[in-house]
Amino acid sequence: MINVTRSYLPDFEEYIDEIRSIWDSHWLTNMGEKHQALERGLEEYFSVPHVILFTNGHLALENALAVLNLPRGGEVITTPYTFASTTHAIVRNGLVPVFADIDPETYTLDPKKAEALITEKTVAILPVHVYGHLCDVEAFDALAEKYGLKLIYDAAHTFGVRKEGFRGQAGSFSSAAFGDMSMFSFHATKVYHTIEGGALTFASDALEQPLNDLKNFGIRNAEEVAYVGGNAKMNEFQAAMGLCNLRHVDEEIARRKKVTAQYDGRLGGRAGIVIPKAQPGVSSNYAYYPVVFDGYKKDRDRIFEELKAEGIVPRKYFYPLTNDFDCYKDYPSAGKEKTPLADHVADRVLTLPMYGDLAPEIVDRICDIILR
């Protein structure tokens, strides 16, 4: 079976060496030495002042919204072209998602469509970087500044992605450096993972203590509980896997680049097939390989079934749109007809198998099935 993704694993002995000290310390969780080392390592990798680890990306995003103390009932403009977690995090904080349409090339939230939906009830914008493509971070930064809104990025798909230049500043900027905060998922299916896990990245010193409070019951020391928090701590075994994988993630991205080039060579320029476009000035992580069959939904569905029959499991990612979920049908901006570009892509997209050690002959087999 060839699945849409396969988790990268370091050498078995490397992981054993990394966790060996846990048997000496018997410190399994509660921000031990592995947890602290991974936060420092990620701050260096991302070139950001602060990284806080969580047990998964969803709780990281929930806590990002919670720490901002946004007024209940406030509106958060976001995209329906995302995983359920993004929208759920908004609603579970007592906020109202407002769905705007996407850019037809990057599949990320369109800043112009987002601006058109800003009202006196809007409190934040939550764009999502998709498939390794960055949102228009300059436009969203300007929007947040213009309207006095909080800006939180769902960056689950962009570990290792960098952009050259930002709002007149020279240099290379990590996808972790934008907005008030960025959330990363370190789920096992991601380019970089800690088995399960997630993180928030941010520049403001003022956010560090309350975020740590939120993820650890508000406990600051043995006798002080200063915050009504929950439990979202990453354990030492997750952090140890993260330390191992951090040593190899750039190699994994380089291998994915070669797989992407092979797909591009086989599927590029074919009528009815839209392949990913490189973003100028952005170094991708090649997280996914989305193909849009630009005819009818039935073409996508037929190809999905033919691949599956041959032991190849792609994914209709993202389908359905979150604004078409039953749990959101009563929201004012719900309904896929409100976001026709997102609806068009969701009805026609397949993400093909993508991981660094995907064999060239398997890529050819996948492409042969599609092209026939």
**DSSP states along 323-340:** GGSGGGTTSTT-SGGGSH
Q: How far apart are CA 42 and CA 38, in angstroms?
A: 6
With a cut of 90, say whether residue 78 has pLDDT above it.
yes
| Conformational region of residue 230, where left means phi above 0, alpha means psi within -120 to 50, and beta covers everything else | beta
Find the DSSP H helices in 33-82: 33-46, 57-67
Peptide bond into 49 cis (omega under 30): no
Residue 50 — φ and ψ, nearest 5°? -135, 135
Domain boundary assignment for the chain? 2-101+108-243, 249-371
User: Which helix (H) or strand (E) is 200 found in, with range?
Assistant: strand 198-202
- pLDDT, tens digit, for every residue of 79-100? 999 999 999 999 999 999 999 9
pLDDT in tens, 279-325: 999 999 999 999 999 887 789 999 999 999 999 999 999 999 999 99
Q: At what angle do helices 12-25 and 236-267 cross, to 10 degrees?
A: 160
pLDDT band at 245 (very low <50, low <70, confident <90, very high): very high
Entry field: residues in the chain: 372
Q: Tell me: the pLDDT tens digits for 16-69?
A: 999 999 999 999 999 999 999 999 999 999 999 999 999 999 999 999 999 999
What CATH number is given for 2-101+108-243 in this structure? 3.40.640.10
For position 297, what pLDDT does the model report? Answer: 76
Q: What CATH number belongs to 249-371? A: 3.90.1150.10
- Section 242-250 average pLDDT: 98
What angle, 0 to 180 degrees and rounded to 10, lies between the N-to-C axes of helices 33-46 and 236-267?
40
pLDDT for the residue 294: 87
Mean pLDDT score across all residues of the chain: 97
Which H or E element spans position 349?
A: strand 349-352
- This model's pTM is above 0.95: yes
To the nearest whole percent, how much of the chain has pLDDT over 90? 97
Secondary structure of 205-264 in HEC code, one letter for each residue = HHHHHHHHHHHECCEEECCEECCCCCECCCCHHHHHHHHHHHHHHHHHHHHHHHHHHHHH
Q: What tokens appear for 25 in the block?
A: 């310390």
Q: How far apart are the first and last CA of the chain?
A: 21
Q: If DSSP codes are grouped into helix, strand and coil, which group holds residue 96?
A: strand
Q: pLDDT tens digit string along 169-199?
A: 999 999 999 999 999 999 999 999 999 999 9
Which residues lie closer than 8 Å to 251 by C-beta, 6 or more apart?
A: 356
b/e map of 134-148 (b: 16 or more CB within 10 Å)? Answer: bbbbebbbebbeeee
The DSSP-derived string for 270-288 is: -TTEE---PPTTEE-----
Strand partners, 290: 351
